[in-house]
Structure 1
C-alpha cells in the first residue's frame, strides 16, 4: 500500500539579505564565507535579529525574568490550528475588538494554536506593511482563559507598530507573554489553510541559549 503524505502548507516568509524588519531591529545580511572554488565547501555568514521574518516571541522578549526560547515546551508549538478570519476587519491601523471575533473563538480548544488571518502578509516588504491592523488586549485575556498559550498573526505584531515611538507600547504582548504565552509573528499564506481538514501547525524555534525569540519554519499540516 502506498503511503499518502499529509498536505503541508508553508506559512513562512523567505529569509534574504535586506528583507523587511521591525523598525529598529538588526538589518539582515547574508554573505558567502567560503566557496567551492577556494575551500571545497560553501558556507554563508548570517547577521540577523532573533525576531527576523516569521518568528516567535518567547516571554523574555518583553517580560522581565520571562522564559527564554530554549526553555519552551515544544509540544505547545506542534498543535491543532485554529485560523480566525479577520480579513473583513483588516484596515490600516484598525484595532480588532474581542466582540468582533468572539463567535469564532467559541471553537477554541485548550492547547490549540490560534492564528489571526488578516492577509496583510501580501504587503510584506512594503512600507504599508507597518500600518497593519492589530488585536485588542482583551482578546489575549479571552484566549488565555480558554487554555490557549500560543497565538499567531500574519502581521508584524498583534500590537500596533509605531515606527516613531521611542519605546514600544505592547499591551497584547504584556498580557499574553506576561502569562507565559508565545506569540508567532509574520506568518503568511494563511488563506491556504483548510479548516475542514483538521490542520495542525508546527512552528519550531532554534534553541538559542537564553535568548528572547527565534525565526521559525512554520507549516500547517493537513490530514491526507
Structure 2
C-alpha cells in the first residue's frame, strides 16, 4: 500500500473520529407549553385557538393564535419585574442570555424539606469541586422539582385553588446566597426548576428583589436538570423579544462543550474548553 493511500486512510479515519469527538450535544431545558402549563394562581390560563387547518386553498395551511401570561411555564423574569428602574425584556443584552451553567444540586435535601434553600455554603462547596464560578454564569438550583411538572399540587405542595400562597412548599435560593452572588461573582442570573427562586411560603420575594435589583435575570421552571452536568455546559436562555415585557416564555437549552468555545476570561477571545476541541484543531493542522 502506497504512502499516499495510507495518508488518505488516516485522513478519513481522523476526520470520522474528529466528527465524533467534536460533535456538539444539545440538551432541552424547556417544558412544553400546553393547556397544563404551570402558572401562579390568579394568572391567566393558557388559550390556544386554531384559526385554519386544511388544504381548502389547494395547498396545506395551518396557523393558530394563543394567549399566555409572561410568567408561565419555563420563562424568564426581566429586571423590571421587581425593579422599577430595571431593564425591560427587550433591553436585556444578548450576552446576558448566554453563559456557563453552574448547577447547584440540593435534591437530597429537598426530598426531606420541601422548603430547602440553596445557601452560601452550597455555592462554596460547588466552587471547592469545580473552581470559581465563571463570569457571566447562570447559577441554577436543581431540586428535582422538574420531575413534578406539570402537576401543580405536587409543585406548589398544596391545592393552589384552596390555599393561599403563604402555604406553598417548594425549594428556592436563599436571599443570603443571592446577595453573596451579586457581591462576589459576576453572574448573568439565577434560575431553578421551581416556579420561583424564592422558596414557597417565605422570604417576601427577597431573592427576586436582590437579583432583579442588580439588573440580572431569573430563569424559572427549568426542565431536565438531570441531563445537565454541574459544570462545563453553556446555557442559552432565549426569550421572545417582547417590547416592554416584564418577562416572557423562554426557550432554554444547554450545549455540552465538545466543540463549544466560550469566552470565560472576559478578554473577548474564545477559549477552547475541551480536549476534543484541541484534538480537532491539531489533527487538521497535522493533516493539512
Normalised to the residue count of structure 1, the TM-score between the two structures is 0.90
Counterpart selection for 2:174 from 136, 140, 143:
136
Aligned residue pairs, count: 219
CA distance in 2, matches of 1:78, 1:149: 8
Which is bigger in relative contact order (C-alpha 8 A, separation at least 6)?
1
Is the CA contact 2:104–2:230 (under 8 Å) kept in the aligned structure 1?
A: no
Q: Could you say which residue in structure 2 is the equivalent of 1:156?
A: 195
Match of 2:138 in 1: 113
Structure 2 partner of 1:87: 107
SS in 2 for 1:53: coil
Where in structure 2 are the equivalents of 1:92-103 lying within 5 Å?
92-103=114-125
C-alpha distance in 1, partners of 2:116/2:140? Answer: 17
Q: For 2:71, which of 51, 56, 61 is the aligned residue?
A: 51
Are the structure 2 counterparts of residues 218 and 179 from structure 1 closer, same or farther at C-alpha, using a change threshold of 3 Å?
Answer: same
Alignment of 1:187 with 2:222, yes or no, is yes
Question: Which runs of 5 or more structure 2 residues have no equivalent in the other structure?
Answer: 1-14, 157-168, 259-288
- RMSD after superposition: 2.0
C-alpha distance in structure 2 between counterparts of 1:75 and 1:128, whole Å: 35
Question: How far apart are 1:11 and its partner, in Å?
Answer: 0.6
Structure 2 equivalent of residue 24 of structure 1: 42
Larger Rg: 2
**Change over 3 Å in CA distance of 1:85–1:5 after alignment to 2:** same
Where structure 1 has 5 or more consecutive residues not aligned to the other structure, the ranges are: none
On the 8 A contact 1:113/1:149 being kept in 2, the answer is yes
How many angstroms does 1:221 deviate by?
Answer: 0.1
Give the Cα separation in 2 of the matches to 1:25 and 1:174.
20
User: Aligned partners of 1:64 and 1:147: how far apart in 2?
Assistant: 22
Deviation at residue 95 of structure 1 after TM alignment: 3.7
1:13 is matched with 31
Q: In the superposition, relative to structure 1, how do residues 38 and 29 fare at CA in structure 2: closer, same or farther (>3 Å)?
A: farther
Answer with 168-177 or 37-46: which moved more: 37-46
Q: Are positions 1:199 and 2:233 aligned together?
A: yes
State the 1:128 CA deviation. Answer: 2.2
> Aligned partners of 1:9 and 1:18: how far apart in 2?
22
TM-score (norm 2): 0.71
The SS at the match of 1:42 is strand
> Matched residues in 2 for 1:29 and 1:159: separation?
28
Question: What does the per-residue CA deviation read over 1:87-136, in whole Å, with 9 as the maximum and x for residues that have no partner?
Answer: 12213123443234432145312211111111111111221201211221
Change (3 A) 1:80 1:95: closer
